[in-house]
Amino acid sequence: MPGFPRNLIRAVAHRLGVVAAVLWGAATIAFIAVKFIPGDPISILAGGENIIDAAGRQAMVRKYGLDQSLPSQYGHYIGNALLGDFGESYQYRQPVIDVIWEAAIPTFQLAVCAIVLALGLAIIVALATAGRRRGLATAISTLELLLLSTPVYWIGIVLLSIFSFRLQWFPIIGNNGFESLVLPAVALSLPLAALLSQVLRDGLEEALVQPFALTVRARGVGETALRLRHGLRHAALATSTLTATLFANTLGGSILTETVFGRSGIGQITLQAMKTRDMPLVLGLVMLSACVFVVINLVVDALYLVIDPRLRRAGQ
């Protein structure tokens, strides 16, 4: 088709423009917000008030560019961010990229385990309850509502009390191996599974009354095969969007979960960066969160084309 390459180029250019605008907006808002956080970054760098003399203070101000005007600081930050340089963390005295990378690994492990477990539980529960006996569906819905209403830290404390303190099956705190990942992943996944199962069950129940479901049944396909091969695919669009959003939020930092189980990660360094007014680290973390959401949204858009053939035909 003669117009297809031009349309494709226009669509790609529009998407890249949106991505650039999102990243620039996130960086700008974070820069402004950090400047309004009370506190003196030089005192943080020096380790406290009255630790260095006036000459040393002036040297540190010049070193970190804090003597420049706000527009100059902003332009310097944006220019370096485009090159992937977010400066040096005030608190950790290391490049921001190194600090974030070290903290991102345990958070990524926790997020992946939690979302996979939540999605698996949601699929099992939705398949078992969609269109089934109302008593079972009501009981499961009540349990889901209870999990959604329960704070994650309280679920974590209950799990620790039973499986760490009483039964001593899992370690209490730390990031040491797979055993230390089990309880945090379960605590984080239960509310996610409750939300995903509600959306997935609604999608399945809607799919099972569609005309295509009647056609599939007329061909002699069993109820289980109908749910697995056709119903889940119909319900996957809304569920995939929600799953991606929840995964991005989890990657952004599960502060409560990491705090309860004594795990290092993005949530912990985010909390510390805000407390200590560590501007380079805060800005780097904001940019990381923005990039995560952008990438995940792009992946979800691609998955839509895989899940629903009608979208592929509409784009042709």
* 234-275 tens-digit pLDDT: 777 767 777 877 887 777 657 778 888 888 888 788 888 877
Count other Cβ atoms within 10 Å, centred on residue 288: 23
d(CA 27, CA 24): 5
pLDDT digit string, tens, across residues 66-83: 777 778 888 887 777 777
- Percentage of the chain exceeding pLDDT 70: 74
In 3D, which of 244, 204, 210, 198 has the Cα closest to residue 228?
204
pLDDT digit string, tens, across residues 18-71: 777 877 887 788 778 777 766 666 666 666 555 666 777 777 777 767 777 778
Determine the topology of domain 96-314 in CATH.
Answer: MetI-like fold (1.10.3720)
For residue 308, give every residue at least 6 positions away whose Cβ sits within 8 Å of its Cβ, in sequence order, or none. 237
pTM (predicted TM-score): 0.73
* Dihedral of alpha carbons 261, 265, 267, 272, sign: positive
Domain ranges in the chain? 4-82, 96-314
d(CA 288, CA 293): 9
Q: Name residue, tokens 């100059």.
A: 72
